[in-house]
Structure 1
Amino acid sequence: MENLFSKIKKTFLGDMIGGLTSSVVAIAYGLTFSNLIFSGQMKPWSGYGLAATFLAMAIASGVMALRSSIPFVIAGLDGATAAVTASLVSALIMKLNDMGNPDDLLAPVMIVIALSTGLTGLVLWVLGAFRAANAIRFIPFPVIGGFLAATGWLMINGGIRIVLDQGFSLGFLTDALQNSKLEKISSAVVLAFLINGLQRFWRSPYVLPFSVVSSVIIAHLYLLFSGLSFNSSAVQEWFVHAPREVALVTTWELGDIWLFPWGILPSLAGDIFAVVFVTAITMLLNTNSIELISRKDADLKIELEAIGIANLLSALFGGYVGCTSLSRTTLNYAAGGRGRLSGIIVALISTVIIYIGANFTNYVPKFVLGGLIITLGAGIIKKWLIDAKRLIPWHEYFVLLSVTLVILHWGFIAGIFVGILIGCITFAYGASRTNAIKFCFDGAEYRSSLDRGSDELAILSTFREEVQGFILQSYLFFGTSNKLYEHVKLITHQRLTCKFLVFDFSLVNGIDSSAFHSFRQIKQLAKERAIRLVMVNAAEDHYDDFSAILSQEDWLLESLDQAIEACENDIISRHHQVQQEGRDLLEWLERDLGSLDFAEKLVSLCEKIEIKKGTTVAQQGAVSDSMHFILSGRLGVVVQIDDSGFKRVRSLGRHTTVGEMGFLTRERRSASIIAEEDSIIYQLSLACFERIKKEDPDLCEALLSYVILLLSQRLRFASNTIAMLQR
């Protein structure tokens, strides 16, 4: 009981410390993101922006604390999501200014923010509810990297805007020097470098809160010892101006909806999409990173549903878009937070700040907030634009860089278009370089699972080049299928005796309509050379397409083994001479035993059995008291798998032997032997074999040598098949 109480106390204290520490960083981020979004023409309404910021943080932290599969997760505004939201607000204001500068920007801005936040929440909830989060992973890496790199620059530009009340432009440096603004921006940049240096030297989540608090204290100590008055106009330019007090009131009414210029909404589609896209990507990346840091698996369904609900509530009450925060969650975990109390504390403190007002922001230097967001933006650019150069191929990096530059110059819509266009081009280029042929084989390298006699094997070995097979792979379209045609053309010129072209589609994941043109060319080539086409494992939805190409002589079969066996049967039928039954039997055994005398003696000791199709020759689990020589027909080796049914292991044709392993080892039969055709077999009983051992050692030695050779051939066949499949 005492241990339990101690554990609860430890968890409670850890959650309290983690929640309070994370709240310090959350407040700093809240002030930063609020000033980022409500800058420029939106400054008169910065109080509403501050309230909306902490409202969004309270809702996101509270919902995720109660619903997340990772109990200690902290949620709220993220640097990337705040940057794209600020970009959306800026684009909206530009459109409104073009229509005539309105007196009240707050209502249209908050309506658009509510729309983007609600849409983001809906998309995230749908991705979670339908377990479709993996769909985001199909977006090409360069497109994601380009989006986030552009977002990093937007954050840096936003940091500059916080410090100087103006963004970066071509005349930025000249203007900064002429108006003595260089000291302010230099302070923010120096702070960003110090934070980055500390994070490299001291790899701790406490670097950020330590840097922010220390910077504020140092700024005030400088004022104290320099004798400057805090209330002087020169000093006030360095500090954040507290917004006028606001309560939690609606920032727009139903009447504002009718007055909103809905015609400009399509032109904002790219920026709204950017909010949704960047939030979804950031949410997934942050969740994956938290899993690695905490070594706990997250349930993406729960995470996406929870943050989706949080964003829907935030849109309803007038907040921004939010997601799981990597920095605050990491800080909470390092401080000892392991339970849901940490997130609840952050939510409560965010709510308290809304009610106590924002007078405390008067004491926060602008360069601290600007330096903080410049640090975040520079970190994103380093990860997605600089480090990526070493990690991805040059053509993918070119796409990433192109998407970034297009977004920065023309906006997100153009970036989306360019990303998709270049992505498609590079995909087609990369896919065309992929060989559509995984490997090739001929009639000797790959055989069917039908065991054949030595005479038939000799025929197949002699005429091995009559079968040319191709295991195809990947997605077939004009670029890859044309290379396939050129390769088939070369093969048919080199193998003049080729009679079968076998194509296996089991590894093909799709066929473009343009690829069928190449198969028509292959068919024309095959027709000119009297070659039969054999298509195997083709998808059912392509049957009609292949049927339109193939002629009656060609085959469209379901398995490669079936196709190879059909080719082998055709080859053997054209090159094998039919003989009388008795002569055929003696010639076979004479060839394999090495003596006509041995063959005659063995036949005299065997019992001839004629069996009908479907007859069970030997039962699985029965005593192995005989082996069988197959003169004609075909037997199948069938294994019973529990109660689920039977599975055919292989088949045995004429001039082969079955049952020899159990016969020699005296073990019970491991499989059943069933006639697949009307067959004639010669059965050698265990008693007759014992008689051979005693009375004719030479025949016994010849028989055992034959069995050893037979087993070695089967082992070689299995090894060749495995080696071919591993190519």
Structure 2
Amino acid sequence: MTKPLKQSNSSYNAQRFAKHANSLLYGVVNAIRAIPTMYGYAVIIFSHHAFADFMPALSKLVIFSSAVHQVMFTLMSTMPFAIGQVQDAGLIFLSAMATSICNSLGDDVSPEAKVATTIVTIGIATASLGVCLVVMGRFKLAALTSYLPMPVIGGYLAFIGVFCLYAGLALSTGLVINDFSSMIDMFHDTHNILLCVPGFLGGAILLVVSQNFKNPFALSTAIMVMPVFFFLVLAIGSISLDEARQDGWVDPVEKTASISELVNLFDFDLVHWDQIPNQIVTWIGMVFIVAISSSLDVVAIEIDMGTKLDINHELKTVGWSNVV
């Protein structure tokens, strides 16, 4: 009787170890996918030229926000595989707020004041958005999204796509590209077009991989291979990293932002509080769009899993992650 029991315990421990190892591996895979995306999101949100000198700290702020989202999703979501990160739907409105604040304050206000005003405003907007989502989930209002016409949803998805396009072009060229006119101006320089070619090719490759390979490791492998291939081309062409930086293929070396620098961004003495009411209309739009996109995400997972999920509970999860 003792021997089968020991074998059973050994088998159970082996299964637990395999499960944890598998979860850790999937976590690494998702990190490979998500972290570069977060840097892209930071470029979208803080696309105004006033933020250029603060991007190392602001990028860390976005990544930290994603970490908080993931912790809240892990603790509260009914889906054990739930991935929490900064939403693509909301960042469009955060970008609009940031740009609006910088334009409104003008050139007479210091960049430090613009940064402080922007991140405090965004923080307040995000927290209040979270409260609204929690209330909507508490009173089971998520089902209202089913009454939205498909052209509205399609337009919202297209709007996100345009901003992602701007961010990709900005990352490729190092220029500030946040509207159609700045995008057209970029194409006036042949070198800028050349810098964008690898981005377009890389995007096309990732699209093909994601559509033709169901294995979750395929896309992550493709993402990892791309920079390896890039540096391999540099080595074959005997091109140094400094030369690549001079030609715009690699970002200039910047000092890493410390935690103290990140905290110092929140200088409440520099905040122009009169700018916050000006963002109410944008905030209202953000509340509706994030509520819609969050609900649609859950519906898509329902369809994929073939299992009914509690959309209102998941909406509350999104809400609390934004509040925190």
User: Does the alignment pair 1:25 with 2:33?
Assistant: yes
Residue of structure 2 aligned with 1:281, choices 282, 292, 304: 292
User: Does the alignment pair 1:231 with 2:245?
Assistant: no
Aligned partners of 1:294 and 1:136: how far apart in 2? 20
Deviation at 1:204, TM superposition (A): 4.0
Aligned partners of 1:255 and 1:173: how far apart in 2? 39
Deviation at 1:261, TM superposition (A): 4.5
Aligned partners of 2:264 and 2:314: how far apart in 1? 29
Deviation at 1:32, TM superposition (A): 1.7
Residue of structure 1 aligned with 2:176, choices 166, 171, 177: 166
SS of the counterpart of 1:278?
helix
Cα pair distance change 1:243/1:293, threshold 3 Å: farther
Cα pair distance change 1:306/1:269, threshold 3 Å: same
2:75 counterpart letter in structure 1: L
Partner of 1:136: 145
Aligned partners of 2:83 and 2:169: how far apart in 1? 27
Deviation at 1:293, TM superposition (A): 2.6
Superposed CA offset, 1:165-185 (max 9, x none): 132544745653435211111
Partner of 1:299: 310
User: Does the alignment pair 1:10 with 2:18?
Assistant: yes
Cα pair distance change 1:139/1:293, threshold 3 Å: closer
Matches within 5 A, 1:79-90: 79-90=88-99
Deviation at 1:60, TM superposition (A): 0.8
Aligned partners of 1:18 and 1:287: how far apart in 2? 20
Aligned partners of 2:100 and 2:197: how far apart in 1? 28
Cα pair distance change 1:52/1:293, threshold 3 Å: same
Deviation at 1:232, TM superposition (A): 2.7
Cα pair distance change 1:143/1:269, threshold 3 Å: farther
Superposed CA offset, 1:39-71 (max 9, x none): 332121112212211211111111111111111
Aligned partners of 1:296 and 1:77: how far apart in 2? 25
Partner of 1:178: 189
Partner of 1:312: 323
Aligned partners of 2:199 and 2:94: how far apart in 1? 22
Cα pair distance change 1:252/1:234, threshold 3 Å: closer
**Structure (1/2) with the larger helix percentage:** 2
Partner of 2:201: 190
Q: Is residue 83–residue 155 contact of structure 1 (8 Å, CA) maintained in 2?
A: no
Residue of structure 1 aligned with 2:263, choices 240, 246, 249: 249
Cα pair distance change 1:181/1:119, threshold 3 Å: same
Q: Is residue 87–residue 154 contact of structure 1 (8 Å, CA) maintained in 2?
A: no
Residue of structure 2 aligned with 1:125, choices 123, 131, 134: 134
Cα pair distance change 1:199/1:108, threshold 3 Å: same
Partner of 1:532: none
User: Does the alignment pair 1:145 with 2:157?
Assistant: no
Cα pair distance change 1:230/1:11, threshold 3 Å: same
User: Does the alignment pair 1:270 with 2:259?
Assistant: no
Cα pair distance change 1:115/1:174, threshold 3 Å: closer
Aligned partners of 2:250 and 2:126: how far apart in 1? 30
Larger displacement relative to structure 2 (1-10 or 158-167): 1-10
Deviation at 1:234, TM superposition (A): 4.5
Q: Is residue 92–residue 160 contact of structure 2 (8 Å, CA) maintained in 1?
A: yes
Superposed CA offset, 1:541-580 (max 9, x none): xxxxxxxxxxxxxxxxxxxxxxxxxxxxxxxxxxxxxxxx
Task: Report the structure number with the largest CA radius of gyration.
Answer: 1
2:26 counterpart letter in structure 1: G
Cα pair distance change 1:143/1:243, threshold 3 Å: farther
User: Does the alignment pair 1:260 with 2:276?
Assistant: no
Identity of aligned residues (%): 17
Partner of 2:55: 46
Aligned partners of 2:317 and 2:62: how far apart in 1? 19
Cα pair distance change 1:13/1:178, threshold 3 Å: closer
1:197 counterpart letter in structure 2: V
Deviation at 1:114, TM superposition (A): 0.6
Question: RMSD in angstroms over aligned alpha carbons?
Answer: 2.4
Cα pair distance change 1:89/1:158, threshold 3 Å: same
Matches within 5 A, 1:346-425: none
Q: Is residue 84–residue 151 contact of structure 1 (8 Å, CA) maintained in 2?
A: no
Aligned partners of 1:288 and 1:178: how far apart in 2? 44
SS of the counterpart of 2:191?
coil
Aligned partners of 2:88 and 2:323: how far apart in 1? 20
SS of the counterpart of 1:72?
coil
Deviation at 1:278, TM superposition (A): 2.6
Unpaired runs of 5+ residues, structure 2, are: 1-7
Partner of 2:5: none
TM-score (norm 2): 0.85
Partner of 2:3: none
TM-score (norm 1): 0.40
Deviation at 1:217, TM superposition (A): 0.7
User: Does the alignment pair 1:209 with 2:220?
Assistant: yes
Deviation at 1:281, TM superposition (A): 1.8
1:166 counterpart letter in structure 2: V
Q: Is residue 116–residue 268 contact of structure 2 (8 Å, CA) maintained in 1?
A: no
Cα pair distance change 1:166/1:207, threshold 3 Å: farther
Cα pair distance change 1:103/1:43, threshold 3 Å: closer
User: Does the alignment pair 1:107 with 2:116?
Assistant: yes
Deviation at 1:109, TM superposition (A): 0.8
SS of the counterpart of 2:216?
coil
Aligned partners of 1:82 and 1:8: how far apart in 2? 38
Unpaired runs of 5+ residues, structure 1, are: 314-727
1:30 counterpart letter in structure 2: M
Q: Is residue 106–residue 251 contact of structure 1 (8 Å, CA) maintained in 2?
A: yes
Q: Is residue 43–residue 171 contact of structure 2 (8 Å, CA) maintained in 1?
A: yes
User: Does the alignment pair 1:240 with 2:254?
Assistant: no
Cα pair distance change 1:7/1:294, threshold 3 Å: farther
Aligned partners of 1:311 and 1:92: how far apart in 2? 21
